[in-house]
Homo-oligomer: A and B are copies of this chain.
Amino acid sequence: MKIAKTMDSDFEALFRRITGRGRVFDEDLWRVVKEIVDDVARRGDAALFECTERLDGYVLTAETVAVSENELEKAAARVEASDLAILRQAAQRIESFHRHQIAESWTVSEKPGATLGQRILPLERVGIYAPGGLASYPSTVLMAAIPAKIAGVQEILLVNPSKGGQVQPLIAAAAKLCGIDRIFKIGGAQAVAALAYGTETIPRVDKIVGPGNAYVAAAKKMVFGQVSIDMIAGPSEILIIADGSAQPDLIAADLLSQAEHDEMASAILLTPDEALARAVSAEVERQLKRLPRRVIAERSLEAFGAILVTEDLEQAVAVANRFAPEHLELMVADPWTLLEGIRHAGAVFLGHYTPEALGDYIAGPNHVLPTGGTARFSSALGVYDFVKRISVLSFSREALEEVGPQAARFAHLEGLDAHGNSISLRLTGKNP
């Protein structure tokens, strides 16, 4: 890997290249996705099934679009008992972490007769997008469904374009484990549209969550407003801050664990220690050679990877905050102190024994995280994504007398007289 300094003249270009990945949809992609979304919104199942045949290469009907109980049982039964135990342990840890995110409804009465409050209620029906294609990601099923379940969502649907319409064993097992209500063998922009608008066979949902490719991301943005969405996911990324206390081989392994995801992934090391920078660079080359996904990792590192030497750890923290990375590892002697300065990141991994991959599967926190610098303003998927809040107001006549006249005057100042009238009428009994 190349080594550069954060103060180099080409740093700004690197910064823009990395944080700009996947943020803007090109016009051609947008047009293709819009056609699919509009078609499914208009023609429902017919369009959905045609798209699936054309783009995913398998035939669906109203009878076969949902995974049957029998299919689900048979697929799940193919998972080895030891692997099922791992899924179960992961589910338990994810649940245990996310239970801390439950928020309670409240009411307050500042005075007798004036009660205000906020009721927190679950969304009724949500759709989870689990990417399909070559690999299958049961971990994403757990990460999306468990917080929804904790929030109290009544019906959880899963869409997954499994190979040839066959539900994958691990997906089936994960779905059973976390109480997914129904699985549909659909994917891509057409699945997002079906969930957003509903078709004859797919019920409309209140929120669509989970990662997907650029088509899925564009479709989610398109239907946003019609339904809620979690975020517009971009390619994955890691940023590591390390000092002399860190082992080069561990840093290299963690950079590669991100780079192997896909060619658009980004892996960055920031360190004030030049010797460490050189050692990591050599170690990356060494480990790369043995990696099954070597070609992908090499391309990712070439385009979006960097080892950057900073003046000190303080500068490394400042640069990390500018990147606002999805995953941030603090492989330093005193990570808790460094954490105090971190203002933007999806998830922070402290010390030498908290590899990012642990968080992907089993640690407990969510692995659906903001990418491309959006950690500036968004958060990991959580229980809070599956609830909404309803404000509650209750005034007695006496309580209204105390603030009503002021509200009526305020309404008048804004030129809305009927607003004021609705208050005055209650206080005076007279319609002005």
Q: Which residues of A contact B (CB under 8 A)?
A: 23-24, 83, 86-87, 89-90, 93, 96-97, 100-101, 103, 106, 108, 110, 115-116, 118-119, 121, 123-124, 134-139, 170, 206-207, 221, 224-228, 232, 249-250, 253-254, 256-257, 259-261, 287, 290-293, 297, 335-336, 339, 342-366, 369-370, 374-380, 382, 384, 388-397, 399-400, 403-404, 406-411, 413-423, 425-426, 431-432
Contacts and interface: CB of A to CB of B under 8 A. Distances in A.
Which of A87, A137, A406: most chain B CB closer than 10 A? A406
A393 B291 contact: no
15 contacts: A90-B406, A90-B410, A97-B116, A138-B414, A139-B414, A170-B414, A207-B377, A292-B417, A339-B392, A350-B393, A351-B396, A353-B396, A353-B400, A357-B408, A370-B388
A357 to B, nearest CB: 4
Contact of A407 (B118, B346, B361, B422): B361
A1 to B, nearest CB: 14
Contacts of A136: 414
Given A121-B343, A257-B422, A348-B390, 16 more contacts: A90-B410, A100-B106, A136-B414, A139-B414, A250-B422, A287-B418, A339-B392, A342-B390, A349-B394, A350-B392, A352-B426, A355-B426, A357-B416, A357-B422, A363-B395, A369-B391
Contacts of A124: 343, 376
Contacts of A426: 250, 352-353, 355
Nearest to A404: B358
A241 B359 CA distance: 48
Contacts of A358: 393, 395, 400, 403-404, 407, 423
A226 B376 CA distance: 10
A110 to B, nearest CB: 7
Contact of A411 (B360, B366, B370, B411): B360
Nearest to A89: B406
A406 B375 CA distance: 29
Contacts of A351: 394-396
